[in-house]
């Protein structure tokens, strides 16, 4: 699959990322022995199509970020297959991974700490090119300036010489985006890119991301816990709970008609911007998210589920079911099998 | 390095920078004017090279602070004739020649000279010259000193010659009609008055005025000749005085400056860099690398530093740079490794490190470009501060005898002073000047270090 010498990938599959029963376990060490494992991602199969934006939503600790990292090999899966552009990255060594990562970019949550504070904007944005030995210094300069104007940091010459501490949060996130797109990637993992930003500039940044996506034909994995921005920004939505994806489908469909009880509860929990509803009590899922080191048996949502079927949900793990409208749900409620 | 400019904003660091600049200029001056080989040779040359210097003399500048002027060394030499040194030769027969040397000098100091010596050189084939030496005091009193036949290289230690001393004491006793309660030193008799004051060593005063030393030589060959050098040793010398071997302590102190600075700075910088690199590698790679490095560090931490150094310097002949290497080696796995590792463990979790990994940065690049530069600002002040420690360490090692036997350093001067009982004998300058230099060096480093700390770690400013 690798063309020798050029380091380019020949194979271009339709799905840029394909996860097949991916599990990421972190060992819990207790004095020389492993006491157990934290199951951050526990059997996820999902496909990200070329050119789409997949939103990965879920509460804190549900394994969204770990899943995002595993798509580009920042985290090695314990088991399962991660196919990036048709190549199983779990089998690659560091050198090959490095080549692969050229085709991917990451935007992190915290724009205040995701850029080396000792680097100027120019150096920070240029670094991926330097590391991957792309172009000479003149060419790199052009590309850095082009990326900076792509993210609307104009004039680029002005911003290039700044240090991160001289910039606002929004400007820093633009720098981080410029750094993520500088090596012309096909796939970008945006890990809560607007969570740390002011509400007033979230939309600006998301608009910018969309514009860049259309301009460069990018695929974006948008990790968030914010249903509102997911609705606004994504084509498809994947809902994650305790290391599993419980529901995947086109964003509009999922939001309009959530199938999985957890998705329903999640959408129910979104505050409504109507003051008349302020006194109405909303349905809130009881209980707390499970401990990923010691998850409940069967369906992990069953201790909190309002539609819990005794003797089934607490014993068996539900399989992912394909629904007619292109959705997948992991819930026994829709299992009308044999 | 733009950030170093605010150093001049703090008054304390201004003083530190001033002292350090002075020390650096002194070092440059020393290296430029006195080559190291020459300094080392002079320092180890033994007493013959330094024969014209007084023994255990105070630094010359003590005269500025004292109403009584201590004598400086006077040297008169017939090889350098002048108005004060006259040499006349007269032929007195076919083979006989008479040479007369007169050395006139003015003695205006308030204290007696520490020694008076005469040195002769002569050329002859078989018959050595015969000299008659006499001393004339300002009042015209003439005192015959000695009649002697000189060899080609000869000397007459006037002030310590026991025969002469007995003669002069006898002469004085005859003049005064009384025997003093002590043996009057020759230099007191030669430079003091012949009166009652001589009887008490406390009351005797120098007679200021013009003195003359005459040497009448009888030469038995037409080609024969001789030269005389008179040295009236003072009690002050140079800017740092002299030691028990008449050596100019100033040479050791001058050369001690660049050596101390170089030793301190290079030890501090290299140890900090090595410790930081070990800490960074240990924290970045974790796992086995970390375990091995931390265990090595723990072994080094309990290794007794001084005994190891003493052992090495006993078994091997070490020079100062070998000592530096040993110090660096023993400290490279020091406590700093733990501190830096802790810092790096915190840094390695920063999102920008993960970002760097995400776009393909390798281990080396992350450690060198992303991790280490983040720690440098916190490192610099402590490096500057520890430079002073290593300057002190070198001196302390020298005092313990773990030193370079060849290189003159401040520590060695203090060691000599300590060993030869300088403070017991009252030669305080011998200890005080090198100590003051050591203190000044560490004060300058400390002041600069504190100011750098304020500049690089701005949170300290608010306190």
The model's pLDDT over A22-73, given as tens digits with 9 standing for 90+, comes to 999 988 887 778 888 888 888 888 899 988 999 999 888 888 889 998 888 8
B233 φ/ψ angles, rounded to the nearest 5 degrees: -70, 135
Substitution target in A100, A104, A127 with the highest count of B β-carbons within 10 Å is A127
Nearest to A130 by CA among B362, B347, B349, B285: B362
pLDDT of residue B180: 83
A114/B352 Cβ within 8 A: yes
Burial state string for A229-244 with b = 16 or more CB within 10 A and e = fewer than 16? bbbebbebbbbbbbbb
Contact B356 A132 (CB under 8 A): no
B365 touches chain A (CB under 8 A): yes
Q: Do A131 and B370 touch (CB under 8 A)?
A: no
Q: Which residue in the set A101, A113, A128 is minimally distant from B351, CB to CB? A: A113
Between CA A73 and CA B383 the distance in angstroms is 39
Q: What chain B residue is nearest to A190 in terms of C-alpha separation?
A: B355
**B contact test, residue of A131, A134, A163 with most B CBs within 10 A:** A131
The C-alpha atoms of residue A267 and residue A273 are separated, in whole angstroms, by: 14
- Kindly list the residues from chain B whose CB atom is less than 8 angstroms away from the CB atom of residue A102: 359-360
**Contact B352/A116, CB-based, under 8 Å?**
yes
Closest to B374 (Cα-Cα) out of B290, B272, B276, B264:
B276
The CA dihedral of B385, B387, B393, B394, to the nearest 10 degrees, is -160
pLDDT at A281: 67
Contact call for residues B59 and B240 (beta carbons, < 8 A): yes
Q: Which of B362, B365, B374 sits opposite A118 (nearest CB)?
A: B374
More confident residue, A214 or A14: A214
Q: In chain B, whose CA is at the least distance from the CA of A71? A: B358
Smallest CA–CA distance, residue A44 to chain B, in Å, is: 22
Nearest CA among B392, B37, B53 for reference residue B242: B53
- Residues B16, B8: Cα–Cα separation, whole Å: 10
Contact by Cβ (8 Å): B114, B235: yes
Among B77, B130, B128, B123, residue whose Cα is nearest residue B99: B130
**A331 CB within 8 Å of a chain B CB:** no
Which of A104, A112, A118 has the most B C-beta neighbours within 10 Å, making it the best mutation to test the interface with B? A118
The rounded distance, in Å, linking the Cα atoms of A228 and A203 is 11
Please tell me the distance from the alpha carbon of residue B265 to that of residue B267, in angstroms, as a whole number: 5
Q: What is the pLDDT of residue B295?
A: 94
Residues of chain A contacting residue B286, judged by C-beta atoms under 8 Å apart: none
- At residue A168, φ and ψ (nearest 5 deg) are -80, 170
Instruction: Enter the DSSP assignment of B84.
Output: T
Residues in chain A with CB shorter than 8 Å from the CB of B358 are 72, 74, 101, 104-106
- Maximum distance among all alpha carbons in chain B? 108
- Is the pLDDT score of A289 beyond 70? yes
Nearest C-alpha neighbor of B69 from the set B101, B106, B34, B17: B106
The residue written with tokens 């005469």 in the block is B118
CA distance B366 to chain A (A): 11
Closest residue by Cα to residue B382 from B327, B336, B343: B336
> Tens-digit pLDDT profile for chain B (463 aa)?
456 677 778 888 899 999 999 999 999 999 999 898 888 888 888 778 888 899 999 999 999 998 889 999 999 998 888 888 999 988 888 888 899 999 999 999 999 999 999 999 999 988 899 999 999 999 888 999 999 999 999 999 999 999 999 999 988 888 888 888 888 899 998 998 888 888 888 888 899 999 999 999 999 888 888 999 999 999 999 889 998 889 999 999 999 999 999 999 999 999 999 999 999 999 998 888 999 999 999 999 998 888 888 888 888 878 888 889 999 999 999 888 999 999 899 888 888 888 888 888 888 898 888 888 888 888 888 899 999 999 999 898 888 888 777 888 899 899 999 888 888 888 889 999 999 999 999 999 999 988 888 887 766 554 4
Which residues of chain B have a CB within 8 Å of the CB of A104? 358
Quote the crossing angle between the two packed helices B335-347 and B287-302, to the nearest 10°.
150
Smallest CA–CA distance from A123 into chain B, residue: B369
For residue A113 the two structure tokens come to 């700490």
How far apart are the C-alpha atoms of B220 and B223, rounded to whole Å? 9
Task: Tell me the pLDDT of chain B averaged across its residues.
Answer: 88
Cα B271 to Cα A101: distance, rounded to the nearest angstrom: 37
All residues at 6 or more sequence positions from B152 whose CB lies less than 8 Å from its CB, including other chains: B121, B122, B123, B124, B128
- Tell me whether A125 touches chain B (CB under 8 Å): no
Tell me the backbone φ, ψ of residue B229, rounded to 5 degrees: -125, 125
Q: What sign has the CA pseudo-torsion B320, B322, B328, B330? A: negative
Q: Residue A3 pLDDT > 60, yes or no? A: no
CB contact under 8 A, B359 and A116: no
pLDDT at B112: 92
- Whether residue B107 contacts residue B193, with contact meaning beta carbons closer than 8 Å, is answered with no
Domains of chain B with bracketed CATH: 2-45+247-462 (1.10.3720), 68-233 (2.60.120)
The confidence score (pLDDT) of residue B460 equals 57
The pLDDT, as a whole number, for residue A5 is: 39
Q: What is the pLDDT of residue A1?
A: 39
- Helix, strand, coil shares of chain A, percent, nearest 5, are 35, 25, 45
Question: Please, are residues B235 and B58 in contact by the beta-carbon 8 Å criterion?
Answer: yes
Instruction: Report residue A44: phi and psi, to 5°.
Output: -110, 130
User: Which of A113, A172, A191 to mutate to probe the B interface, most B CBs <10 Å?
Assistant: A113
- A interface mutation test: which of B291, B353, B358 has the most A CBs within 10 A? B358
Q: Which residues contact A106 (CB under 8 A, 6 or more apart)?
A: A68, A72, A74, A180, A188, A189, A190, A191, B354, B355, B358, B359
- Between A110, A118, A127, which is nearest B359 by CB? A127
Count CB atoms within 10 A of the CB of residue B182.
Answer: 11
B452 three-class SS: helix
Select from A71, A89, A109, A116 the residue whose CB has the most chain B CBs within 10 Å, as the one to mutate to test that interface.
A116
Q: Which of residues 45-74 of A touch B (CB under 8 A)?
A: 72, 74
pLDDT given for residue A338 in this prediction:
44
B373 touches chain A (CB under 8 A): yes
Phi-psi sector, B59: left (phi>0), alpha (psi -120 to 50), beta: beta
- pLDDT, residue B461, reads 52
Using the structure block, give the residue that is written with the tokens 């005085």: B241
- B361 touching A (Cβ < 8 Å): yes
Q: What are phi and psi of A21, to 5 degrees?
A: 50, 50
For A190-220, what is each residue's pLDDT tens digit? Answer: 998 888 888 888 888 899 999 999 988 899 9
Closest CA to A318 of A291, A337, A290, A294: A337
- Across the interface, whether the CB atoms of B362 and A105 are under 8 A apart is answered no
* Residues B198 and B189: beta-carbon distance below 8 Å: yes
Q: How far apart are CA B373 and CA B379, in angstroms?
A: 10
Which own/partner pairs from A146-150 qualify as long-range (CB within 8 Å, at least 24 positions apart)? A147/A178, A147/A179, A147/A181, A147/A182, A148/A121, A148/A175, A148/A178, A150/A178, A150/A181, A150/A212, A150/A215
User: What tens digit of pLDDT does each residue of A132-189 get?
Assistant: 888 888 999 999 999 999 898 889 899 998 888 889 888 999 999 999 999 888 899 9
Helix (H) or strand (E) holding A105: strand A104-107
In this prediction, residue B422 carries a pLDDT of 87
Measured between alpha carbons, how far is A66 from A76 in angstroms, rounded to an integer?
Answer: 10
**Top-confidence residue, B397 or A338:** B397
DSSP state of B334: S
Q: CB B322: neighbour CB atoms within 10 A? A: 14
Q: Do B356 and A127 touch (CB under 8 A)?
A: yes
Classify burial at A73, counting beta carbons within 10 Å of its beta carbon; exposed 0-12, middle 13-18, buried 19 or more: buried
Question: Residue A305, CB half-sphere, CA atoms under 13 Å: how many?
Answer: 23
**From the CA of B454, how many Å to the nearest CA of chain A?**
18
Record: contact A101-B350, CB cut-off 8 A: no
Cross-chain residue pair B355–A179, CB shorter than 8 Å? yes
pLDDT band at A336 (very low <50, low <70, confident <90, very high): low
Q: In sequence order, what are the residues at sequence separation of 6 or more whose Cβ sits closer than 8 angstroms to the Cβ of residue A280?
A: none
Residue B368 contacts A where some CB pair is shorter than 8 Å:
no
Beta-bridged to residue B77, according to DSSP, are B229
């Amino acid at each position: 699959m690798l063309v020798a010498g050029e380091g380019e990938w020949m194979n271009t599959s339709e799905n840029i990322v394909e996860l097949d029963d991916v599990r990421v376990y972190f060992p819990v060490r207790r004095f020389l022995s492993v006491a157990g494992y934290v199951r951050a991602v526990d059997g996820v199969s999902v496909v990200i199509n070329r050119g789409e934006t997949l939103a990965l939503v879920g509460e804190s600790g549900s394994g969204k970020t770990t899943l995002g990292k595993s798509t580009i090999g920042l985290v090695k899966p314990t088991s399962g297959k991660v196919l990036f552009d048709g190549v199983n990255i779990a089998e690659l060594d560091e050198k090959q991974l490095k080549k692969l990562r050229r085709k991917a970019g990451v935007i992190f949550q915290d724009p205040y700490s995701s850029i080396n504070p000792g680097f100027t904007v120019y150096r920070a944005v240029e670094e991926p090119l330097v590391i991957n030995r792309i172009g000479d210094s003149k060419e790199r300069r052009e590309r850095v300036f082009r990326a900076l104007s792509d993210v609307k940091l104009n004039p680029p010459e002005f911003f290039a010489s700044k240090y991160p501490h001289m910039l606002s949060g929004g400007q820093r996130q633009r720098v981080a985006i410029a750094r993520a797109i500088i090596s012309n990637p096909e796939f970008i993992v945006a890990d809560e890119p607007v969570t740390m930003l002011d509400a007033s500039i979230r939309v600006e940044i998301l608009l910018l991301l969309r514009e860049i996506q259309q301009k460069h034909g990018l695929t974006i994995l948008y990790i968030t816990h914010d249903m509102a921005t997911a609705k606004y920004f994504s084509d498809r939505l994947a809902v994650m709970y305790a290391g599993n994806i419980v529901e995947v489908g086109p964003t509009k469909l999922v939001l309009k008609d959530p199938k999985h009880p957890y998705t329903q509860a999640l959408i129910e929990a979104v505050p409504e911007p109507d003051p008349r509803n302020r006194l109405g009590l909303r349905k809130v899922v009881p209980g707390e998210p499970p401990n990923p080191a010691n998850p409940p048996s069967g369906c992990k949502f069953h201790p909190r589920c309002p539609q819990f079927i005794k003797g089934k949900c607490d014993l068996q793990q539900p399989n992912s079911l394909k629904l007619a409208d292109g959705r997948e749900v992991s819930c026994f409620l829709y299992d009308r099998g044999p | 390095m733009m950030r170093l400019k605010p150093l001049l904003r703090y008054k304390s660091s201004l003083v530190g920078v001033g002292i350090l600049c002075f020390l650096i200029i002194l070092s440059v001056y020393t290296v430029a004017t006195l080559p190291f080989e020459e300094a080392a040779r002079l320092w180890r040359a033994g007493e013959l090279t330094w024969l014209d210097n007084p023994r255990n003399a105070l630094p010359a500048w003590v005269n500025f602070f004292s109403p009584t002027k201590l004598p400086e060394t006077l040297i008169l030499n017939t090889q350098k004739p002048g108005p004060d040194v006259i040499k006349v030769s007269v032929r007195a027969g076919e083979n006989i020649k008479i040479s007369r040397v007169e050395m006139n000098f003015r003695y205006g100091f308030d204290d007696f000279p520490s020694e008076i010596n005469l040195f002769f050189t002569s050329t002859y084939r078989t018959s050595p010259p015969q000299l008659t030496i006499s001393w004339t005091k300002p009042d015209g009193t003439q005192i015959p000193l000695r009649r002697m036949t000189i060899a080609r290289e000869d000397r007459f230690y006037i002030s310590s010659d026991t025969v002469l001393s007995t003669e002069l004491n006898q002469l004085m006793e005859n003049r005064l009609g009384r025997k003093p309660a002590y043996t009057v030193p020759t230099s007191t008799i030669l430079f003091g008055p012949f009166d009652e004051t001589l009887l008490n060593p406390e009351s005797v005063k120098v007679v200021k005025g013009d003195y003359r030393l005459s040497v009448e030589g009888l030469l038995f060959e037409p080609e024969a000749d001789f030269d005389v050098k008179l040295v009236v040793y003072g009690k002050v010398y140079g800017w740092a005085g002299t030691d028990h071997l008449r050596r100019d302590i100033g040479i050791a102190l001058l050369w001690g400056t660049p050596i101390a600075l170089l030793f301190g700075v290079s030890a501090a910088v290299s140890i900090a860099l090595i410790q930081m690199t070990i800490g960074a590698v240990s924290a970045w790679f974790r796992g086995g690398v970390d375990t091995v490095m931390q265990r090595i560090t723990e072994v080094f931490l309990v290794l007794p530093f001084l005994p190891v150094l003493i052992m090495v310097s006993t078994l091997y002949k070490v020079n100062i740079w070998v000592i530096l290497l040993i110090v660096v080696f023993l400290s490279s796995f020091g406590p700093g490794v733990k501190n830096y590792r802790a810092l790096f463990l915190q840094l390695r979790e920063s999102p920008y490190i993960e970002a760097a990994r995400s776009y393909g940065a390798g281990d080396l690049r992350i450690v060198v470009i992303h991790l280490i530069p983040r720690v440098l600002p916190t490192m610099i002040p402590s490096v500057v501060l520890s430079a002073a420690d290593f300057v002190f360490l070198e001196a302390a090692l020298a005092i313990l005898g773990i030193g370079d036997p060849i290189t003159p350093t401040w520590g060695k001067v203090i060691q000599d002073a300590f060993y030869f009982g300088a403070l017991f004998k009252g030669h305080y300058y011998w200890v005080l000047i090198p100590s003051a230099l050591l203190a000044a060096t560490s004060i300058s480093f400390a002041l600069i270090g504190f100011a750098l700390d304020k500049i690089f770690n701005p949170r300290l400013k608010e306190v």
